[in-house]
Each structure stands twice: as C-alpha cells, then as structure tokens.
Amino acid sequence: MANQLIDGVKMSEKFYVTTPIYYVNAQPHIGHAYTTVVGDFLKRFHELDGFEAYYLTGTDEHGEKIYQAAIEHEIDPLMFCDEISKRFAEAWNVLDISNDDFIRTTEARHKKVVNQILNTVYENDDIYYDEYEGLYCVGCERFMTEKELVDGMCVDHKQPPERRREGNYFFRMEKYQEWLRIHIEENPGFIRPTGYRNEVLSMLNQSIGNLSISRPKERVPWGIELPWDSEHVTYVWFDALINYISALNFPDGEKFSNFWPNSHHLIGKDILKAHAVFWPTILKAAGIPIYQSLSVGGFLMGKDGQKMSKTLGNVVDPFELTKAYGSDAVRYYLLKDTVFGQDSSVGENMLVTRYNADLANDLGNLLSRVRALLLRHFKAIIPEGKQEESDQEVIDSGIGLIGKVRPLVDSLRFFEALEEIMAFVRLLNRYFNDEAPWKLAKEAESQTRLATVLYNVTEGLRITSTLLEPAMPNKAIQIRKDLGLGDYNFSDVVSWGGVTPGTKIPNFTEMLFPKQEAETKSSNESVSIQTIPEKTRKDCKEMVDEVSIDDFSRIELRVARVIKAEKVHGADKLLKLCVDVGADERTVVSGIAPWYKPEDLAERKVILVSNLKSAKLRGIVSQGMVLAAEDGDGNVRLIEPADAVPVGSLVR
C-alpha cells in the first residue's frame, strides 16, 4: 500500500488514506477504533518515510437507520447526528489520531458534490427509474440476495431482511461489471488481502445487477434529495462513498488534484461489496479515475467470540481503555495483537499481558537501565564509543530495521512489522545483559567499553523510537526526550551514529511504561502482598546493582497514620485503608488482610510510598503503598516509625 511499487507501477510520493465513515446510530467502540488506528499508523508511517500524507475520517449521517435511531431517541435527526459525530471526534482525539479532516455527510460541502456526481451520471443516462422488489436489511442498508443469507438471516445483523417493493432510481452498475473485473484481474494489489480480492472476483463472475440509488422520501425523509426528483432521497451508500472525494473538494480543489487518485481505502470486511463494486463503478460512470487500493480488515471479536457491535452489546469502550492504559498502549495493542484481514479476539487482560511483556519489561526497562548508568557513570552525558567486532550485530540489525519493516507495513502485516522492532529491542537487551555494563563500570580499564555499550544501546533506542512512532507517537517522543534527543525520520535510521556524543540526558523523568495489573478483572490470587507480579520482582532483583541515588531519591516515603481500615468486598487478601499523610488523606489498598484485622490498624503509624502512581484494585483507586516486611515465619509485619515522628514527615 505504502508501496512505491504497486503492480509494477511507480507511485507518486503522495499518500491519501481513509477510514470508512462511521454510522452515527451507535457510540464509537474499539472495533471502529481499530480501523482508525490502522489508518493513523499508516499516515504517520508514510509521513516519516518522506511521503506527503493526508488522512480522512468522518461520520455517515443519512439513511433509514440513523433516522430510526433519532426517532427512538425523540430528537431531531441533525441534533442526534451532531451529538454522536462529536463522540467519534472525541474518541479519535483521545487516541491521538492525526486525521487532517473529519467529514460529515450532512455538511453542505459534501451534499454539493453528491449532487454534482448524481447529475453527471444521470445526464450520461446511467440512471433510470424502475419498480423493485427484494429483501432489504436495514442494518446493512441494502438489498440482499437469497444467497447472502444464512438460515434466512443477515449474517452480520442476525435479523431476517424485510421484503420490500418500491419505485426507485437505479444506477446501471452492470454496464461496468466487465471493466471492473478486468481491472481487478490486472491489478493484484487493488484489493488486499488476496482472499477478499477472490471474493470480489467471484461476485463479478455472476451478474451483479443494477444498484438502487434512491429511496422514496415518504418512507426515508432523512437524506440528500435527488437533484431531478425531490420526492426521492439518495440511497445512503451512494451518498456516503462520495465522502472520499467531497472532502478533497472535488472537482477543482487543490487537495483533490494533489491526492486523488493516490488513495488507499481501509475498510472492514462487512462493507467490501460497497467499496469494491459500487464505488469503482460509480467513479467510472462519473468519469473519475478510481482509487489506488482497498485494504480489508477482519473484525474485532468480543468476549463472546462474536463481532463486537452495538447490536450484540459486547463492545469495549475505547474511552475507558485509553483512560486506564493510555492511548499509546491501546494503539500498540490493537496493531500488535491482531492480524489485519482476519478476525481477532481482544480484551483488557490480553492488552495488559502484551503491555507488560513488550512495553514495560523489554522496552521501558531497557530505557531506565541505560539511563541509570549514564546518570551514575557519565554525569548524564552520552559518551563517545569505540566500536568493536562484537558490536556489529547490534549495529547491522539497527540500520537494517527499516528495510525489514517497510515491506511488512506495505503488505499490511502490521503485527510482524512491530514484532521486527521488538525483536531488535530484545537483541539490545541481550547485548546489554551480555556486556554487563554495571560490571564494566567497576574496572578502570573497561571505561571505554562501558562508554561504547551505553552509546550503542542509546543509539539503538533512538532507532527503535523512530520506528515505533507511527504506533506510539507519544511514548516514542518520550523515549527520545529521556535520552536528550529530538525528532528523526526514516532517512535518519539507515546509518549508525545519529546520537551525538556529549548530549545531556535529563536527570528526572517519568517511568515510561509503569507495570500494569489487570486489576479490574483479576482474581484474588493474582493480588499479592506487594501487588507486584513475580516477573517484576525478579527484574527488581536483577536491577539491585544498578539503582542510583538519583533513582532512589525519586521515591517519596512519608509517615502516615491509619484513620480507618476495612475489608475489600470479594478480596480475601485486601484491606482498604484511609490514611492521614499530613497534607491530605489517601485511600490505600493493601494486601495485608491475612495478618491484620481492620480494627487493629486504626491510629497506627505506617510508612507510605506516597508518590506511587495510583492504581485501581478491585475498582478502588489506591494512592500509595504501605511498607511491610516478612518475619522468619512468613508473616507480614508493617514497618512502624518511632512514635515521636509526626505524621507527614519525609523518610530519608
């Protein structure tokens, strides 16, 4: 897709990517977010790769089902559309989607272009009036053939379609069938992945019929009136598809001449026919060059194993997920744990597992380890290295990475592209562990080697962060900031040495990826006294050698007093403490229930880690952690400060 070579043809350096425009009869869910994240990933990837990129998304606001939804909510259809369209825009905002435009089909700029195209096709005699009887699925907003039904029901909406007979205007779609079939045959990259191309070719091997492009206004009053017959409104799909060019100000707009037809449409598999058959034939009939490529994604499935949808009520809310884990984590997860083109199951626990493994352990840990050594041994200045034979594997892998990643992105294998980058991060971790810079630091004669290892890992992280930027724009920038670095693009990652020795790294930073617990869903057993998983504890142990005074001084410990304690419903090990920290009162959830009764804790002084990032445990926000130690018998005892020390005192 990004391909400079599609079907052997050299593409221009322009890249226009679109998502479907979303129906406003339902709130945005993670299934919608998926295509939008993929689109944003592609836009940013191409921009960093030197393309002039443009990214469009928006909302589809006409048609029967939107009208019905507005009626059900007893509100004016446009007000209803305003409301939900805004929610989509907000969702893309929290997910850091960098769309250049957001089109709404109720906007005048869109209606104008729909009118123009209708007129052109009508004047060419490609539209006629006829009576039609068929099976109509309101969910899909289209007539269906018997063959498309399973047990008499629409596969996507699990509803039988209605039999309808009405007078409509028809577009002579069949006239363009053979032309389209040949185009798809001759351009293997036009519809991808191949399975969907084959599906369309088999549709085109049978008669596709003509397309009803109007609805009687008396039945569906919510739509764009036909320019030649005010008793009919435009069929919602004919109207909606045109968004891809109305947003570019077809026909005279600069954006249109700049980006069309270098356009790449991203869709879900349920709207394949509309994009692969209706849209190119409409464009052809209107005398407009057709789009470059159509990339078809599978569905995100809910916990019940069914396509996530409002109708089935099994949706994951992108707002909630982003609030809990941050937009970069959600974006990364959606790209890394799905295979584009196929259905994928998604869920919060899977997100947490992926986050902890790839982001917290492999990437975040490496960054904090290299930073700690730079702060401790080089006064926060990145040193100059002297490369040796043993550094070559890391160097070659780093500068070869974009060459491996680009073709994977071009062929829609996003998870493999990210896996290549993470494999490089794991290589950097191995290199770091094998070279053991904390040991090198102890020997006077190993100082140059120490400098080289730290330089190489820093340079590796520079390349990693640049390549991860399309997936995780914020964290990528944070990685570079934590290393005192600025921004780069893909032409800066093909050689080693982009980091300038002498660069100063900041003394204090926020943890890149704090470890997460799927506490909202976790069972009792997964909550241990320290609420730190085994793996993290192991990491901490490995890192004991390397905690600098700077690292340690970032932890704020304060004397606190327990005001009251109570059991946490449904969690045997947890107590909810309300503590006085001097300046304020906090809630802390602690796994000390097996050793303390709530009534024994009131008025006790404890030591609290008071600047710990808040975490939700069993739905309670815990704002800190109390310190405890194990006695020889495996019992846990709270650490108590001397009586004379006032509440709120800093522990030094």
Active site residue 46: no
Our finding on whether 95 is near ligand MSP (CB under 6 A) is no
Active site residue 81: no
The DSSP call for residue 72 is: H
Stretch that binds ligand MSP, among 21-29, 376-384, 404-412, 425-433 (CB under 6 A): 21-29
Instruction: Indicate which residue of 73, 157, 273, 573 is catalytic.
Output: 157
**CB-CB contact of 581 with 608 (8 Å):** yes
**Three-state secondary structure call for residue 143:** strand
Candidates 73, 56, 394, 410; CA nearest to 241 is 56
For residues 254 and 555, what is the distance between their CA atoms, to the nearest angstrom? 55
**How many residues bind ligand MSP, per CB under 6 A?**
21
Binding pattern to ligand MSP, positions 221-240, x when CB under 6 A?
-------------------x
Active site residue 569: no
Binding pattern to ligand MSP, positions 241-260, x when CB under 6 A?
x-x-----------------
Question: Applying CB under 6 A, which of residues 15, 16, 20, 450 lies at the interface with ligand MSP?
Answer: 20
The DSSP call for residue 342 is: S
In the bound state, the residue with its beta carbon closest to ligand MSP is 268
How far are the Cα atoms of 26, 177, 237 from residue 181, in angstroms, in the given order? 35, 6, 21
Least distance (Å) between residue 84 CB and ligand MSP: 10
Binding residues for ligand MSP restricted to 269-288, rule: CB under 6 A? 270-271
Our finding on whether 21 is near ligand MSP (CB under 6 A) is yes
* Residue tagged 């904090």 (tokens): 368
Least distance (Å) between residue 288 CB and ligand MSP: 15
Question: Applying CB under 6 A, which of residues 1, 2, 15, 23 lies at the interface with ligand MSP?
Answer: 23
Least distance (Å) between residue 484 CB and ligand MSP: 40
Our finding on whether 34 is near ligand MSP (CB under 6 A) is yes
Stretch that binds ligand MSP, among 202-210, 266-274, 356-364, 594-602 (CB under 6 A): 266-274
Give the residues across from 9 on adjacent strands: 6
Compare residues 222 and 378 and give the one whose CB is closer to ligand MSP.
222
| H runs (alpha helix) in 63-176 | 64-72, 77-94, 108-123
For residues 328 and 314, what is the distance between their CA atoms, to the nearest angstrom? 23
Least distance (Å) between residue 415 CB and ligand MSP: 15
Phi and psi, residue 625, nearest 5°: -145, 135
Q: What is the 3-state secondary structure (H, E, C) of 185-204?
A: HHCCCCEECHHHHHHHHHHH
Q: At what angle do helices 473-482 and 327-336 cross, to 10 degrees?
A: 110
Q: Integer distance in angstroms from the first to the last C-alpha of the chain?
A: 57
Our finding on whether 299 is near ligand MSP (CB under 6 A) is yes
Compare residues 35 and 429 and give the one whose CB is closer to ligand MSP.
35
Active site residue 137: yes
Number of neighbours of residue 567 by Cβ within 10 angstroms: 13
For residues 622 and 589, what is the distance between their CA atoms, to the nearest angstrom? 5
Binding pattern to ligand MSP, positions 51-80, x when CB under 6 A?
---------x--------------------
Q: What is the 3-state secondary structure (H, E, C) of 572-640?
A: EEEEEEEEECCCCEEEEEECCCCCCCHHHHCCCEEEEECCCCCEEECCEEECCEECEEECCCCCEEECC
For residues 272 and 209, what is the distance between their CA atoms, to the nearest angstrom? 16
Compare residues 315 and 560 and give the one whose CB is closer to ligand MSP.
315
Indicate the Cα dihedral angle 63, 66, 69, 73, nearest 10°. Answer: -120
Stretch that binds ligand MSP, among 19-27, 364-372, 466-474, 476-484 (CB under 6 A): 19-27
Compare residues 309 and 531 and give the one whose CB is closer to ligand MSP.
309
Active site residue 307: yes
Compare residues 190 and 299 and give the one whose CB is closer to ligand MSP.
299
Active site residue 275: no
Return the sign of the alpha-carbon dihedral for residues 516, 522, 528, 530: positive
Taking the CA of residue 378 as centre, how many other CA atoms within 13 Å lie in the half-sphere pointing to its CB? 29
For residues 601 and 589, what is the distance between their CA atoms, to the nearest angstrom? 13
Active site residue 573: no
For residues 238 and 223, what is the distance between their CA atoms, to the nearest angstrom? 11
Least distance (Å) between residue 231 CB and ligand MSP: 25
Binding residues for ligand MSP restricted to 302-361, rule: CB under 6 A? 307-309
Compare residues 240 and 571 and give the one whose CB is closer to ligand MSP.
240
Rounded to an integer, what is the distance from CA 172 to the centroid of its chain?
40
Active site residue 140: yes
Footprint of ligand MSP (CB under 6 A): 20-23, 31-32, 34-35, 60, 240-241, 243, 267-268, 270-271, 299-300, 307-309
> Among all residues, which ones are annotated catalytic?
29, 32, 137, 140, 154, 157, 307, 310
